[in-house]
């Protein structure tokens, strides 16, 4: 049996012919950039999130950077980020003009809430909690810390569409939240796309302007911005997919529970915490022989991946901070142990059983 890490074709097939019609409609109406499907998506996503503003943009990295800038973060400002995430979380701080300050992760690979305050200095302006793998950070605790220290909070929701914390959606707690709609995400376009979500009118106004060359209305350039717009075809894809997001999320959660039932007790599985809805963008286990396990699974036709093998502070691009493993002991230890198993809504029970059988045999 061959089991890919993700199977985007399976989902596309389930959306036919509606998806082809939506894409062709965007082409026939020449709704390539602004207006049309992108406007529809902004309204639909804001309504789905229960938030005032969604600003569609080109990708989830731009969306982080633009929101930081719209919050006024720039030169000399420090922003706290978890030691393990996709690089965009830290990269966007630097490209906004600030300095990322890394905080070690806890055993769920989320920013360690107990370590945040010791990293706060007079220059700290914001925190970016990342709901990594679709597992939401305790946002009530984050907001308490942020309020106490007068910090902005930007939620990185690139992996956590539809996740909730005590019934409230991840992405609705902070001052703003950033979404990626990269094809493999839980809500993915057919190319790059991103979205900025906020209830704050001023953040929304500036973010919208930055994403469109600083314009507020045609030829009224409030500031120098950039070109980061969602194209109409991607928006048409997202409009077709959004109504299915909750169903696909349930299917992911169900698949994760099947994995967790079938994997033997000795396997270190992802933990579900009471009140926190993990939406399993990734199903990540931990083991001592990660590379060996990946090889054995590959021999059986099973694709795996590692998210992420190198904690950000140890990447060559951050050598200027001179960090070593003692600074982030948990991230250093866990990054050597994690391995992501195939995960998508359309995985069959038979496929999950096959993966579980071979993980159990080689763990």
Give CA–CA dist 21/69, Å, rounded: 37
Q: Which of residues 119-158 bind ligand PLP (CB under 6 A)?
A: 130, 156, 158
Q: Shortest approach of ligand PLP to residue 301 CB, angstroms?
A: 26
Q: Shortest approach of ligand PLP to residue 87 CB, angstroms?
A: 8
Give CA–CA dist 131/170, Å, rounded: 8
Using N-to-C axis directions, what is the helix angle for 18-28 and 232-241, rounded to 10°? 150
Q: Which of 177, 180, 212, 351 binds ligand PLP (CB under 6 A)?
A: 180
Total of residues contacting ligand PLP (CB under 6 A): 15
End-to-end CA distance of the chain: give it in Å, rounded: 20
Q: Which of 36, 171, 194, 311 binds ligand PLP (CB under 6 A)?
A: 194
Q: Which is nearer to ligand PLP, 38 or 130 (CB)?
A: 130
Q: Which is nearer to ligand PLP, 177 or 351 (CB)?
A: 177
**Closest to 209 (Cα-Cα) out of 48, 50, 53, 30:** 53
Q: Which is nearer to ligand PLP, 78 or 91 (CB)?
A: 91
Which window, 14-22, 55-63, 311-319, 340-348, contacts ligand PLP (CB under 6 A)? 55-63
Which window, 49-57, 83-91, 270-278, 325-333, contacts ligand PLP (CB under 6 A)? 83-91
**Closest to 161 (Cα-Cα) out of 140, 138, 181, 191:** 181
Q: Which is nearer to ligand PLP, 169 or 358 (CB)?
A: 169
Does residue 59 belong to the site contacting ligand PLP (CB under 6 A)? yes
Q: Shortest approach of ligand PLP to residue 182 CB, angstroms?
A: 4
DSSP reduced 3-state for 66: helix
Residue at shortest CB range from ligand PLP: 60
Strands, E assignment, the chain: 53-57, 78-82, 99-103, 124-127, 152-156, 164-165, 168-169, 176-180, 194-198, 276-277, 283-286, 338-341
**Closest to 2 (Cα-Cα) out of 299, 293, 281:** 299
Q: Which is nearer to ligand PLP, 276 or 354 (CB)?
A: 276
Long-range contacts of 327-331 (CB under 8 A, 24+ apart): 327/102, 327/104, 328/83, 328/102, 328/104, 328/105, 329/104, 330/83, 330/104, 330/105, 330/106, 330/107, 330/112, 331/83, 331/84, 331/104, 331/105
Q: Which is nearer to ligand PLP, 93 or 263 (CB)?
A: 93
Are the C-beta atoms of residues 180 and 60 closer than 8 Å to each other? Answer: yes
Q: Shortest approach of ligand PLP to residue 61 CB, angstroms?
A: 3
Does residue 308 belong to the site contacting ligand PLP (CB under 6 A)? no
Q: Shortest approach of ligand PLP to residue 178 CB, angstroms?
A: 7
Which window, 81-89, 206-214, 233-241, 354-362, contacts ligand PLP (CB under 6 A)? 81-89
Does residue 60 belong to the site contacting ligand PLP (CB under 6 A)? yes
Give CA–CA dist 155/172, Å, rounded: 8
Task: Give residue 109's region: left, alpha or beta (phi > 0; psi -120 to 50).
Answer: left
Does residue 88 belong to the site contacting ligand PLP (CB under 6 A)? yes
Q: Which of 61, 198, 212, 228 binds ligand PLP (CB under 6 A)?
A: 61
Residues in the site for ligand PLP, rule: CB under 6 A?
59-61, 85-86, 88-89, 130, 156, 158-159, 180, 182, 192, 194
């Amino acid at each position: 049996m061959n089991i890919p890490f993700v199977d985007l074709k399976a989902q596309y097939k389930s959306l036919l012919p509606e998806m082809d019609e939506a894409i062709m409609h965007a082409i026939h109406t020449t709704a390539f950039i602004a207006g049309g499907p992108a406007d529809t998506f902004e309204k639909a996503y804001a309504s789905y999130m229960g938030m005032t503003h969604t600003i569609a943009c080109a990708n989830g990295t731009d969306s982080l950077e633009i929101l930081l800038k719209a919050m006024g973060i720039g030169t000399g400002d420090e922003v706290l980020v978890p030691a393990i995430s996709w690089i965009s979380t830290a990269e966007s701080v630097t490209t906004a003009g600030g300095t990322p300050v890394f905080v070690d992760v806890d055993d769920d690979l989320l920013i360690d809430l107990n370590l945040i305050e010791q990293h706060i200095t007079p220059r700290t302006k914001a925190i970016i909690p990342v709901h990594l793998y679709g597992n939401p950070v305790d946002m009530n605790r984050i907001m308490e810390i942020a309020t106490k220290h007068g910090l902005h909070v930007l939620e990185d929701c690139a992996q956590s569409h539809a996740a909730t914390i005590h019934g409230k959606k991840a992405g609705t707690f902070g001052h703003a939240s950033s979404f990626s709609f990269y094809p493999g995400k839980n809500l993915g376009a057919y190319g790059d796309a991103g979205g900025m979500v906020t209830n704050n009118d001023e953040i929304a106004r500036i973010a919208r302007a930055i994403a469109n060359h600083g314009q507020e209305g045609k030829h009224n350039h409030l500031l120098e911005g950039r070109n980061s717009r969602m194209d109409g075809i991607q928006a048409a894809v997202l409009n077709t997919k959004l109504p299915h997001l909750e169903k696909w999320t349930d299917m992911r959660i169900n698949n994760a529970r099947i994995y967790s039932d079938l994997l033997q007790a000795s396997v270190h599985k992802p933990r579900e915490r009471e009140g926190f809805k993990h939406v399993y963008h990734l199903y990540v286990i931990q083991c001592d022989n990660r590379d060996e396990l990946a090889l054995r699974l590959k021999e059986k036709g099973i694709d795996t991946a590692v998210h992420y093998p190198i904690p950000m502070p140890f990447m060559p691009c951050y050598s200027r901070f001179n960090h070593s493993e003692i600074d982030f002991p948990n991230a250093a230890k866990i990054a050597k142990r994690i391995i992501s198993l195939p995960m998508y809504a359309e995985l069959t029970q038979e496929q999950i059983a096959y993966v579980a059988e071979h993980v159990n045999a080689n763990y």
